[in-house]
Chains A and B, each alone.
Chain A
Amino acid sequence: MNVASVEARLRYRPTGDVLMAEFAVGIVDTEIDRVDADTTITWVRHPDLDVPVMASLAVIGARRRFVSGAPGFVPLAIVAAVETMFRSAPSDIGTAVGVEARAEARLAVPLSQLARSPESSSSPEVDVASARSLAAALRELKSAMQLAVESYDTTPVERSTAARQFLGGLDSMASIVASHRTSTPSAVSHLAANLRGGLPLSDHERKRLKSTLDRTLDPEHWKEAALELNQLAAVVRGERRLDHTEGT
């Protein structure tokens, strides 16, 4: 391995869809960037470069995020290896398969690719009040929908499974938002994947909810998102009707 490249160690766990990468660049002046709640990057100073270089990377919901191409903060040199790990690791982590299954790789990465880029800057932490109000709105919507779902018990099994996954996801996202106070793409994409039949929502309300959840990806919109979620909860409880011009 020449001076211009460093060793990278990669690990991928299908359980939790967690990708970890470590680069052998030393540990001088460590600085941590949280791109969002699901992505953490550690930077260090390196004698050969003027800008900080990536020492480690942790991505939650990695496989889903790579579907539409590798995120900008991932060094190009590891993309092919990461995608091979996704394909090789068992995707079914159910009760029958060992949950400790994982894939590992080692490779050389050009040092220049680890230099800090604008895509990897930290997103600001939201103020406590906004995080709290979004978490409360998510829980409010969950309670309203749970009550409505439980009131009809003739739903086909697979539809009620999606509904339960969605309701559990709302609860989890509320807790993540309250504790980390920044956006969580993995929780939003999990909710979007389960936003289908079996939920007490019309097509229009579903679209509204989808766009509101997408809006939570930018913490600057959390206040409006919380308001819209509260309105949707009121609609689900039958206390008001959704204005078709709202939020469009």
Chain B
Amino acid sequence: MRRRPKETIANTQPNHRPTEFIVHKEDPAMTIAPASSYPAWEVERYIGEVMAEATRVLVRKHAAFDVDDILGEILAKLATRIADTMDRYPNPVVYAHAVCGNQAIDFVRAQNAQRGAGARNRRKVVSGDAQLEDSDSTVFDGLVAREDLLEDRVLDRLETAYREAEIALGIPSDEWEALRLTDMLGYSDAEAAEILGIARETVNRRKNRARKRCQELLS
């Protein structure tokens, strides 16, 4: 587990005095990487809105403190590649929707794995916090890095392919957006419709038109 600097503060309120009060201050490992292409205020606003929207989405299905733990994971992911994320998802609300599902699934799976091992005491579970040999990284860091690399490669290749199709065929931006959200990012038609603020049928129509144009290019 990363050690964070803590500061315990005595509360002077006469009533309902907290039995424990802790402030976790900055953790050097969690400092946002410099994003030279964006000013600090814009990065701050972006992160704030991602956190706010992620909370809105997650509290529908998860307990409050589980939500807070998932937010921590989202922040950790965002901190390492903020500029890339802001380039790819200019709207922080859309990014929050994209990242919430995966992060929540990972969190629940990790919890279930830990619970299973604890109950039966048979399955060998390697803790995500365990230190890798000859390295400062943890097992979790290593897995996240590999997953991110794979995701980046797949997305980059798809993005390039779709961009080429867009330029060659002149796919209108609304059709392109429908195709990107559904085929590339894996949203259902209904979810894409909610993000774009249009009807599900319209998303389906636009996506099919864009697919047809792609097929014409390939034939």
Contacts and interface: CB of A to CB of B under 8 A. Distances in A.
Which of A20, A88, A93, A98 has the largest count of B CB atoms less than 10 A from its CB?
Answer: A98
Interface string A7-50: 00101010111101110000000001000011010100000000
A42 B64 CA distance: 9
Interface string B30-65: 111011000111111101111111111001100111
Interface string A170-192: 01101110111000001000000
A158 B65 CA distance: 38
Nearest to B17: A107
B64 A58 contact: yes
Interface stretch (B7-15, B127-135, B167-175): B7-15
Interface in A93-126: 93-109
Contacts, number: 191
A155 interface: no
A56 interface: yes
Given A60-B52, A98-B31, A132 B198 contact: yes
B61 to A, nearest CB: 10
Contacts of B197: 131-132, 135-136, 139, 174-175, 178
A164 interface: yes
Interface in B177-206: 194-198
Contacts of B63: 22, 42, 56
A17 B51 CA distance: 8
B43 A95 contact: yes
B44 A98 contact: no
A195 to B, nearest CB: 15
A90 interface: yes
Given A16-B52, A18-B52, A18-B55, A84 B11 contact: yes
Given A42-B64, A100-B24, 9 more contacts: A18-B52, A40-B56, A84-B11, A84-B18, A94-B40, A96-B31, A106-B18, A106-B19, A165-B45
Interface of A: 9, 11, 13, 15-18, 20-22, 32, 37-38, 40, 42, 56-58, 60-61, 77-78, 80-81, 84-85, 88-90, 93-109, 131-132, 135-136, 139, 161, 164-165, 168, 171-172, 174-176, 178-180, 186
